A and B are shown apart, each in its own frame.
Chain A
Amino acid sequence: MFWQQLVNGLTLGSTYSLVALGYTLIMGVLNIINMAHGEIFMIGAFVGLYLVTYFEVNIFVAMAGAMVTSALLGCLMETVALRPLRRKAVSHLAPLISTIGVAIFLESLALNLFGPQSQAFPTELAAVQMQLGPIRISLVQIIILGMSFGLMFVLRFWLSKTRVGKAIRTTAENIETANLLGINTNKIIFLTVALASGLGGIAGVLVGLSFNAVEPTMGLSMGLKGLAVLILGGMGNITGAMLGGLILGIAEVFTVAYGASSYRDAVAFGMIILILFIRPQGLFGKRQGGRF
Chain B
Amino acid sequence: MDMLLNQYYLQIAVFVMVNAILGVSIYLTLSTGQLSLGNAGFMSIGAYTCAILTVKAGFPVYLAIPIGGIAASLMSIIIGFPALRLTGIYLAIATLGFGEVVRVIVLNLKITNGALGISGIPTLGTKISKMLSSFGLPQKFGGLSVQQTSTLLVLLILVLILVFLVFFCVRLNRSRVGRAFAAIKADESAAEAMGINTTYYKLLAFALGALIAGIAGGLSAHLTFFIGPKDFAYHRTVEILLYAVLGGSDLVFGPIVGALILTLLPELLRSASNYRLMIYGALLVTMMAFRPQGLISEETVRFWKSKLGRGSK
Please count how many residues in chain A sit with their CB below 8 Å of the partner chain's CB atoms: 46
Q: What residues of B have a CB within 8 angstroms of the CB of A98 in the complex?
A: 284-285, 288-289
Contact B105 A277 (CB under 8 A): no
Residue from B94, B101, B292 within 8 A of A265 (CB atoms): B101
Q: Which of A179-224 contact B (CB under 8 A)?
A: 220-221, 224
The answer to whether the Cβ of B92 comes within 8 Å of any Cβ in the partner chain is yes
Residue of chain A at shortest CB distance from B83? A276
Q: What residues of B have a CB within 8 angstroms of the CB of A224 in the complex?
A: 96-97, 100
Q: What residues of B have a CB within 8 angstroms of the CB of A256 in the complex?
A: none
Q: How far, in angstroms, from A107 to B33 measured CA to CA in the complex?
A: 27
The answer to whether the Cβ of B281 comes within 8 Å of any Cβ in the partner chain is yes
Measured as residues with beta carbon below 8 angstroms from the partner, the interface class of chain B is: 35 or more
The answer to whether the Cβ of B82 comes within 8 Å of any Cβ in the partner chain is yes
A184 to B: closest C-beta gap in Å? 23
Q: What residues of B have a CB within 8 angstroms of the CB of A220 in the complex?
A: 234
Residue from A95, A102, A277 within 8 A of B281 (CB atoms): A102
Contact B289 A33 (CB under 8 A): no
Contact B281 A273 (CB under 8 A): no
Residue from B90, B277, B281 within 8 A of A276 (CB atoms): B90
Q: What residues of A have a CB within 8 angstroms of the CB of B234 in the complex?
A: 220
Q: What residues of A have a CB within 8 angstroms of the CB of B93 in the complex?
A: 33, 227-228, 230-231, 272
Interface of A is mostly: helix
Q: How far, in angstroms, from A264 to B219 measured CA to CA in the complex?
A: 31
B280 to A: closest C-beta gap in Å? 6
B74 to A: closest C-beta gap in Å? 15
B33-48: CB near A (< 8 Å → 1, else 0) gives 1010000000000000
Question: Can you add 19 more A-B contacts, CB < 8 Å, to A93-B92, A101-B281, A101-B288?
Answer: A33-B89, A33-B93, A81-B285, A81-B288, A85-B289, A90-B288, A92-B88, A93-B33, A95-B288, A100-B238, A100-B241, A105-B277, A108-B277, A262-B108, A263-B108, A273-B79, A277-B82, A280-B82, A280-B85
Q: Which 7 A-B pairs give the minimum distances between C-beta atoms?
A: A101-B284, A105-B281, A104-B281, A108-B277, A276-B82, A269-B97, A98-B288
23 A–B contacts from the bound complex (CB under 8 Å) = A84-B289, A85-B292, A94-B292, A96-B35, A96-B92, A101-B280, A101-B283, A104-B278, A104-B284, A105-B278, A108-B276, A108-B277, A108-B281, A112-B275, A220-B234, A224-B100, A227-B97, A262-B104, A266-B101, A268-B97, A269-B97, A269-B101, A272-B94
